[in-house]
Every structure is written in C-alpha cells, then in structure tokens.
Amino acid sequence: MPLALLALAIGAFGIGTTEFVIMGLLPEVAAGYGVSIPTAGLLVTGYALGVVIGAPLMTILGTRVSRKRMLMLLMGLFIAGNVLSALAPTFGLMLAGRVVSSLAHGAFFGIGSVVASDLVAPQKKAGAIAMMFTGLTVANVIGVPLGTLVGQHLGWRVTFLLVAVLGVIGLAGIARLVPGQPRPQGVRLRHELAAFRNVQVLLAMAMTVLGFGGVFAAITYITPMMTDVAGFADTSVTWLLVLFGLGMVGGNLLGGRYADRHLMPMLYVSLGSLALVLALFTFTAHNKVTAAVTVTLIGALGFATVPPLQKRVLDQAAGAPTLASAVNIGAFNLGNALSAWLGGIVIAAGLGYTAPNWVGAALAASALVLAILSGAIERRHGGAGSVRLPAGETGERRGALAGGVRDSG
C-alpha cells in the first residue's frame, strides 16, 4: 500500500477523534459553559447534521479544485473548527466550531476514498479505502479514550487543541505524500449529479443508512444498557467502547480485504450476521461476558460493511464518483441520527434499554434485503452499472464517462 495512505489515515484519525470524543466530555463542557447536559448534546447533533450537509456542499464547491488541494483545504477547515472549539468563550461559538469542523468530515472521506482507490491497482481498491478508514477506527481505540482522559484532567479545551495539532500533521502528510494532481478539466456538476440517476448508487446509499444505522441503534444507548442491564460499573463503559473500537478496526480491515475479492457476498454475510448479532444482543446484554463479546462483534460486523459499501458506490458511479462518494459518507451519519431517534422512541415507550437492539436488527435486516435486490438487478443486467448521463453530451464525452474514465482531479 502506498505511503500516501498513511497521510489520509492520520487525517481520518483526527476527524474520528473529534467526532466521538465530545461524547465523553459532555459533562465537562456543560459545566464549563453553565448549560445542561441535553443542551451540550447539541454539540453531537450539530456535528452530525454538519456532516450530512457539508458532504455534498464542500464536494460541489471543490469540483474545480484538484483532489489533493481540496483535501488540504478540508484539513485546514478542520483545524480552524477545532481551534475555534478550543478557544470559544461562549457555547454558541463552541457549537459553531463543531459545525465548521464537521463540514470537512464527509467531503474528506468521500474525496479521500476516491484518491485512495486511485493510488492502487483495481483489485486492491477496497483494501486501500479500508486503510484510510483505519484511522477512523483506531481513533475509537486510542484517540477517544486518551482525548477523554486529557479533557478530564487538563481541561476539554486542551483536547480540542491537540486534535487541531493532529489536523496539522495530517495536512503536512497530505502535502508531502499524496501525489500531485492537475486541476480537473471538463468536470461539471451535472456529471456528478448524474450518478444519482443510477438505481445501484441509490441502493448502496440506502444500505449505508440502514446497515450502519443498525449499529448505532444499539451503541448510542450502550451506557444505560451495560450499567442497568449487564451490571457493569460506570467506569467500565470506556473499556467496553475500546472493545467496540477494536472490533471496528478488525472488521474494517477484513471488509476491505474480502470486498476486493467478493464484494456482494461480503455484504450479504456481514449484514446478515450483523442483524443476527443485534437481535441476540437483547439476550446477551444480561451477562457481562457475553455482553462484552457482543459489543466487539457489533463493531467488527458494522465496520466490515464500510469498505464494500464505499467501493460499491465508487464502482457504480464510475464516471463521476466524487460527489456520490461524499454523499455516502453523509449517509452513514444520517443512519446514526435516524437509529438514535428510533432507539429513543422504543425506550420512551417503556420497552427497556435492550429494545434498541431489535430496532438495529430490523434496520440491518432491511439493508440485507436491499443488498440481495441490488445483486439480483446486477445479475439481470449482466453486471452493468454505468452512470446514466445527461442528455446533450457529445458521443466522445458520453463514452468516456460511461467507461469509467477518471477525471484528473
């Protein structure tokens, strides 16, 4: 794997840390600004919405900029957002800093997926995407626990300043290691939007929302589930999240490896297994050992779907992959928000803290149904998945795009 992937992984590590570390620092941030915990929770919601909106917005704004330069600009935006978060004198400015940093999230992973896949041979594309996402998964094992520890002992502002330093390292790595690329020529927004006329692209994005949503239906409520149902002490939740992160790392790497060989079978197995494990979590959550094992498996199976789903979108949006890739990253966060909301509904209905596991199982099973449908459509059409192009293109341009020729950015 090219060394440039390390630079992308470092950027992903910083982004993953800033996304999730706030969950462990909410009490400190709330106390610092004199607001309630639910109000401080807007820092999580605001970030998620910023990712959903920022993914297509920043990608569209960058259609005239080379992908390397756009990645550098996004890291600059990420650094600025975290510095603002660290220095913000008011809660409103803190929230603004979170939103600013979130705007870089979706576009970074979307454009980074395209760059990573272009760095390697066709049979290694999913593995390259998985290597970049390893930074995000390792953040949950190392970055988030350490960031929480630093925030609790030295102050949460120090945590966000350190995350900004990670952004500087990632920016320097991208500038030094990612190959230079010329400015895109002839790239138009309508070509990128054409990808969304392909039913396979839409099916892959729907699988992303439902499949990863299944994971977060359970993990969002892991603290009350593990303390009130499994009987863990409050201090044990951090280590359970580390187990979840370790599962994410392993699942991500395995998903990337096997998606390059058998993409759709990998999706069938991972989504089906995820649905089964989430359903079983309703019962295994009542025992400490089985609960810990199940949390690890959910992390592994959930992230085993990420490289194949991201590669699926890139493959099906072959002629214009950048915007579709970024929007698919937003789809992960949309799934997180949807599943957390649904999980809250069943808990509020009095069904207990394990009820979100059934929600997660149903979402993952729905994603499996869509995967089977997508595979059936592909077999019916002989594997064709080209992007439908807008009317009025020249024959040469249409042929180039439909053939999957990459733009130079």
**Model confidence pLDDT, tens digit, residues 253-262:** 888 778 777 8
The whole-number pLDDT of residue 224 equals 80
The whole-number pLDDT of residue 406 equals 38
The whole-number pLDDT of residue 94 equals 93
| Cα 192 to Cα 189: distance, rounded to the nearest angstrom | 5
DSSP string, 77-117: HHHHHHHHHHH-SSHHHHHHHHHHHHHHHHHHHHHHHHHHH
| Cα 27 to Cα 90: distance, rounded to the nearest angstrom | 16
Contact 387, 319 (CB under 8 A): yes
Query: What mean pLDDT comes out for the span 3-18?
Result: 90
Q: Give 398's pLDDT tier (boundaries 50, 70, 90).
A: very low
pLDDT of 292 above 70: yes
The whole-number pLDDT of residue 403 equals 39
Please count the residues of the chain.
409
The whole-number pLDDT of residue 277 equals 95
The whole-number pLDDT of residue 396 equals 37
Q: Give 280's pLDDT tier (boundaries 50, 70, 90).
A: very high
Which percentage of the chain shows pLDDT scores above 70? Answer: 89
Task: Give 145-192 pLDDT, tens digit per residue.
Answer: 888 888 888 988 999 999 999 999 999 999 998 887 656 555 566 666
Mean pLDDT computed over every residue of the chain: 82
pLDDT of 135 above 50: yes
Bigger pLDDT: 81 or 218?
81
The whole-number pLDDT of residue 47 equals 86
| Cα 359 to Cα 135: distance, rounded to the nearest angstrom | 28
DSSP string, 357-401: HHHHHHHHHHHHHHHHHHHHHHHHTTT--PPPPPTT--HHHHHHH
Tokens of 84: 């603002």
Count of alpha carbons within 13 angstroms of residue 189, beta-carbon side: 7
* Start and end residues for every CATH 1.20.1250.20 domain found in the chain: 1-183, 186-409
Query: What mean pLDDT comes out for the span 232-245?
Result: 81
DSSP string, 122-182: GGGHHHHHHHHHHHHHHIIIIIHHHHHHHHHHH-HHHHHHHHHHHHHHHHHHHHHHSPP-P
Provide the CA 251 distance to its chain's centre, in angstroms. Answer: 14
> Euclidean distance between the first and final Cα of the chain, in Å?
21
Q: What's the DSSP call for residue 407?
A: P
Q: Which of 172-176, 182-186, 231-235, 311-315 has the lowest mean pLDDT?
A: 182-186
* CATH annotation of 186-409: 1.20.1250.20
Tokens of 139: 């953040």
Which range has the top average pLDDT, 71-80, 103-112, 113-122, 390-399? Answer: 71-80
Provide the CA 83 distance to its chain's centre, in angstroms. Answer: 22
H helix or E strand, kind and range, residue 402: helix 395-402
pLDDT of 379 above 90: no
Is the domain spanning 1-183 CATH 1.10.287.130? The answer is no
Look-up of token digits 């949807």: 338
Task: Give 335-357 pLDDT, tens digit per residue.
Answer: 877 887 788 888 888 888 888 89
The whole-number pLDDT of residue 183 equals 61
Residue type, 199: V
Query: What mean pLDDT comes out for the span 30-45?
Result: 80
Q: How many helices (H) and strands (E) does the chain have?
A: 18, 0
DSSP string, 269-319: HHHHHHHHHHHHHHHHTTSHHHHHHHHHHHHHHHHHTHHHHHHHHHHHTTT
| Cα 201 to Cα 136: distance, rounded to the nearest angstrom | 24
